Amino acid sequence: MAFYGGAETLIAKLTNYLSSNDIEVAIATLSLAPEISEIFKGIKVITPNQHYAYELRSTGLLNALGTLKELLALRNLIKSNISGFDVLNVHNFPATWATFPNLWRKPIVWMCNEPPDLWNNQNPSLLLKIIMKLVFFFDRLIVNKGIDEICVSDEFNCNRVVERYNRHPNIMNYGIEYDLFSKSTGKNILKKYELDEHFVLLHVGVLSPQKNQLYSIKLVQNLKSEIPNIKLVLAGLGGNPYEKMLKEYILKNRLDNHVLFTGHLSKEEIADFYQTCDVAIFPTKSQGGWLSPFEALCAGKPIVVSPRMTASSIIERENIGVVTDDFTKAVLDIYKNPRRYYEMAECGRKWVKENLNWDSFCKKMVEIFYKYVPHELD
């Protein structure tokens, strides 16, 4: 846990809910950054003696093999501390692998924020294709033999779980911190970054191929002749080869006056940027980023999302944002016809407030846990 992102938000809300309802809970993690330790104050956090520094990785096979040391360390951490608990709740890869085989005979519930993308090579050789099939077979074996329940956030991820594991998971939408993202003013951000005179596109997320910031930069390249004052804000942690590539592309194409890198931001700063932007864009691929579009809607801002973004099915069903592969056309239409899209965003704001509640999410998770633990319902 290196920073307070979506996965950390989910875990913080769930553990605090459990604790406040007198259910003993502990977090087992290989690292806990000082900036988020305060969030888990009062919650037992189990970490190893050896520090594991955060490193941005994809979930491809070669990277998975590179995390073998961390996987074994996580398994040892579980093994040393699981005896006093009734249920093991695992989250993102490689936590599922770290629990196999389940020698402790404890029920395991997987909060599948996203099925692991175990292969990133776009043009694998025949040998790599064979290895890939073996890895997917192994992953399916681990999940179907070792995981008792799977929970997902939406229909998109439900379909992926059914396709990969031939199992029907529990669907439970995450909650959104509505008060935080709806009440910010954004005034400090406007002054600090001199955004007053710009048409601001906001792309929130760690700089990575899955978040697809390169697409957003090319979008600005396409739109700058139509919208001369366009400014893209890339709000997220960088410091990796992908960020270097993005900056090289920007310099090569003379886009440096149109793109702003903020680095990692606090949630309060992100809330300010949502209030400040004109459009929040999410060309995200099929890994992560579920909370961000709904956070933008809390601020009443139009959103444009990729059909592959995991929350796209909800956004399209409720008609609270634009779901498309043609971001150029969508953003230009919002620029020319803002009233229509701000009315759509206002409907989205109301829908989020009424439907995406953390207490509701946590209550459903507890009901899943209690399926495996003798108890008396209140």
Q: Is 142 a domain residue?
A: yes
Q: Based on the domain organization, do 170 and 232 belong to the same domain?
A: no
d(CA 323, CA 329): 12
* Maximum CA extent, the chain: 65
Q: Based on the domain organization, do 325 and 227 belong to the same domain?
A: yes
Using the Cα atoms of residue 277, residue 279, residue 285 and residue 286 in order, give the sign of their dihedral: positive
Q: What's the pLDDT score for residue 347?
A: 97
Q: Based on the domain organization, do 285 and 225 belong to the same domain?
A: yes
CATH, residue 261: 3.40.50.2000
Our count of domains for the chain comes to: 2
Q: What's the pLDDT score for residue 377?
A: 47
Contact (CB, 8 A) for 354 and 67: no
In which domain, by residue range, is 79 found?
6-175+358-370
Q: Based on the domain organization, do 15 and 124 belong to the same domain?
A: yes
d(CA 222, CA 328): 7
For the chain, the average pLDDT equals: 88
Whole-prediction pTM: 0.83
Q: Is 107 a domain residue?
A: yes
Contact (CB, 8 A) for 171 and 204: no
Q: Based on the domain organization, do 207 and 341 belong to the same domain?
A: yes
Helices marked H in the chain — which ranges? 6-20, 34-37, 61-66, 68-81, 95-98, 126-146, 155-165, 178-183, 187-193, 213-223, 241-252, 267-276, 291-298, 312-318, 327-336, 338-355, 358-370
Q: Based on the domain organization, do 184 and 124 belong to the same domain?
A: no
d(CA 310, CA 323): 11
Q: Based on the domain organization, do 165 and 282 belong to the same domain?
A: no
d(CA 109, CA 18): 15
Contact (CB, 8 A) for 195 and 230: no
Q: Is 376 a domain residue?
A: no
Using a 10 angstrom Cβ sphere, with 0-12 exposed, 13-18 middle and 19 or more buried, the burial of residue 370 is middle
Q: What's the pLDDT score for residue 117?
A: 66
Q: Is 377 a domain residue?
A: no
Q: What's the pLDDT score for residue 58?
A: 45
Q: What's the pLDDT score for residue 133?
A: 83
Contact (CB, 8 A) for 150 and 160: no
Q: What's the pLDDT score for residue 363?
A: 95
Q: Is 364 a domain residue?
A: yes
User: Tokens for 344?
Assistant: 């759509």
Contact (CB, 8 A) for 362 and 11: no
Query: Which own/partner pairs from 149-153 qualify as long-range (CB within 8 Å, at least 24 positions apart)?
Result: 149/107, 149/108, 149/109, 149/110, 149/368, 149/371, 150/109, 150/110, 150/112, 151/109, 151/110, 151/111, 151/112, 151/365, 151/368, 152/112, 153/113, 153/290, 153/310, 153/311
Q: Based on the domain organization, do 219 and 346 belong to the same domain?
A: yes
Reported as a single tens digit per residue, the pLDDT across 292-309 is 999 999 999 999 999 988
Using a 10 angstrom Cβ sphere, with 0-12 exposed, 13-18 middle and 19 or more buried, the burial of residue 207 is buried
Q: Based on the domain organization, do 339 and 277 belong to the same domain?
A: yes
Q: Based on the domain organization, do 282 and 164 belong to the same domain?
A: no
Give the residue ranges of the chain where pLDDT is below 50: 54-62, 377-378
Q: Based on the domain organization, do 27 and 120 belong to the same domain?
A: yes
Q: Is 375 a domain residue?
A: no
Q: Is 98 a domain residue?
A: yes
Using the Cα atoms of residue 50, residue 55, residue 57 and residue 63 in order, give the sign of their dihedral: negative
Q: Is 244 a domain residue?
A: yes
Q: Any residues with CB less than 8 A from the CB of 9 and at least 6 apart, and which?
A: 177, 291
Contact (CB, 8 A) for 303 and 280: yes
Q: What's the pLDDT score for residue 286?
A: 67
Q: Based on the domain organization, do 194 and 155 belong to the same domain?
A: no
